Chains A and B, each alone.
Chain A
């Protein structure tokens, strides 16, 4: 499927001020046509890595896609090559949804059919009926879908999505993950940051585990998401079960709340 193109990240270092958040991080090659999920505890540097890959924050180290040095792209070419979806949903502007997508198209594309393309993108994300609605009259979930539409507007071959499903209900989460798979099927290299390990395991081709700004482990979901990793990286005691051939992360301790209920009954 993939034409052998891959994203190469070598010696990536990001510092906020003088404090290094990510130190000399080298990732396994991320192939075009695959979905990779970055996981790790809060503060592990997942979002920072994603922003560095999208060049939203300054960083040092090698960033290459195939033979192209991503750092040498013009800002216009970069907008066409890289789609970045921020963790925060777009602010409440008095801007129609379709206008916000047209603007995203204008960044790398200025042909007259921007309006047509914008509508095609909205239909693909399943929010064409919101086209004329102002952003400040959307729910958080709807705004997240608009943000996704802005991200994929230029059909970039590299997609970096920071928690794209965090504000969505269950059905919409699956819709978005299905979309993510279809971007990969069309040849994009997709990198996601996600907290839901079960969801990640279902949809990802590979999982990269970060801890303290360093690579902990990487591999296919069944290799990367293990009880020992959860204990080591998250300090969480949980087991990884396989049900109908799929991975589920299950807390080993059925939860403190159940215990408190029992204690209440006893007293």
Chain B
């Protein structure tokens, strides 16, 4: 009785650590749910969040006008905020791990500028992937260009047998090329088209409707389980490449699949709501700070920090200037930038 077996004590201590991490994840989930409800309620013609919840559960009858606002306007926006936030953050978390680069994010490999180029071409010329129905032209073209840019980077990296660093450089080069072409399109576009292009690239959750939300949900629901299933491999990669190879991992395959997942999430997000910056960079860092880098905890926590961040930004975008909803990309960048600077400074303080 006098001394506890040291192994048992260590096991108990680790069990406590795991419980603490799970508790954090539960707290993040609760905070996201709360933010989601507030997001539903806020804006012109406020609906008390609890009334909104009651209506969705069929417990409370709202006025007809409130019903329309809630179901047709607020709910798709609040849902897409959560979905896109989760998607971008998960994508960012995987990118940071497989590229071994804390500054990686879903748009590192040029996905966002390529998507913007695709959208701009569709807006300016009305051409594009003509097999898509008219209303989907812009989003569809953005998606096709985003995936195309990923495949191009993969192809170039494969041809040269390049590692993570080269891939990032290729992505940056591709991004610059795409933005040069984007400027060219903007230069020759009509004033009307130019305005639309600029507005598109700012990112807006208001584009969400009941066709976009289910598609985004399906993309996330299909991709996320594959990410979670590779969590131990991704954790192993954090032990260094040589260690990961000696543990029997096929790094090429691991990287290819992770980048494919990340790009799919990023391309879908950018196609539907435009470029929402900083979430994919900052949200995974916040998750890592809270639950560490064991990907069994890190990936779910990233999903939640991203969802929470965009949901909160959605509220802020409505409240900042009464009567006007700011483009979400502006809000996340303005909130994200100080957060990012704080992260960088904190990093320097801790490194001996």
Residues of A within 8 A of B (CB): 51, 54, 56, 74-76, 78-79, 82-84, 86, 88, 90-96, 98-100, 103-104, 106-108, 115-116, 119-120, 122-123, 128, 131-132, 134, 136, 147, 150
Bound Cα distance A88, B246 (Å):
14
Count of chain B residues with a beta carbon within 8 Å of a chain A beta carbon: 29
The closest CB in chain A to the CB of B17 belongs to: A132
CB distance from A221 to the nearest CB of B (A): 28
Asked if A119 and B7 make an inter-chain contact with CB atoms under 8 angstroms apart, the answer reads yes
Residues of B within 8 A of A76 (CB): 248
Q: Which residue of A88, A106, A131, A147 contacts B10 across the interface (Cβ within 8 Å)?
A: A131
Chain B interface secondary structure, helix, strand, loop or mixed? helix
Residues of B within 8 A of A150 (CB): 239, 243
The closest CB in chain B to the CB of A120 belongs to: B7
The closest CB in chain B to the CB of A101 belongs to: B239
Residues of A within 8 A of B14 (CB): 96, 98, 115, 119, 131-132
Asked if A119 and B11 make an inter-chain contact with CB atoms under 8 angstroms apart, the answer reads yes
Asked if A93 and B13 make an inter-chain contact with CB atoms under 8 angstroms apart, the answer reads no
Asked if B243 and A128 make an inter-chain contact with CB atoms under 8 angstroms apart, the answer reads no
Residues of A within 8 A of B235 (CB): 95, 99, 103
Q: What are 13 residue pairs bridging A and B, where the CB atoms are less than 8 Å apart in the complex?
A: A56-B246, A76-B248, A91-B239, A93-B238, A94-B293, A95-B293, A98-B14, A104-B236, A107-B236, A108-B248, A116-B7, A119-B10, A123-B7
Q: Which residue of A82, A90, A94 contacts B239 across the interface (Cβ within 8 Å)?
A: A90
Asked if B236 and A103 make an inter-chain contact with CB atoms under 8 angstroms apart, the answer reads yes
6 further A-B contacts with Cβ under 8 Å, apart from A75-B250, A86-B246, A94-B289, are: A75-B249, A82-B246, A103-B236, A108-B248, A116-B7, A123-B7
Asked if B248 and A95 make an inter-chain contact with CB atoms under 8 angstroms apart, the answer reads no
The closest CB in chain B to the CB of A110 belongs to: B232
Query: Is B288 in the interface zone, CB < 8 Å from A?
Result: yes
Asked if A56 and B292 make an inter-chain contact with CB atoms under 8 angstroms apart, the answer reads no
Bound Cα distance A108, B6 (Å):
26
The closest CB in chain A to the CB of B247 belongs to: A107
Query: Is B240 in the interface zone, CB < 8 Å from A?
Result: yes
Asked if B292 and A78 make an inter-chain contact with CB atoms under 8 angstroms apart, the answer reads no
Asked if B248 and A78 make an inter-chain contact with CB atoms under 8 angstroms apart, the answer reads yes
Q: Which residue of A79, A123, A128, A134 contacts B292 across the interface (Cβ within 8 Å)?
A: A134
Query: Is B242 in the interface zone, CB < 8 Å from A?
Result: yes
Asked if B13 and A132 make an inter-chain contact with CB atoms under 8 angstroms apart, the answer reads yes
Residues of A within 8 A of B351 (CB): 92
Asked if A131 and B13 make an inter-chain contact with CB atoms under 8 angstroms apart, the answer reads yes
Bound Cα distance A26, B13 (Å):
49
Asked if B240 and A91 make an inter-chain contact with CB atoms under 8 angstroms apart, the answer reads yes
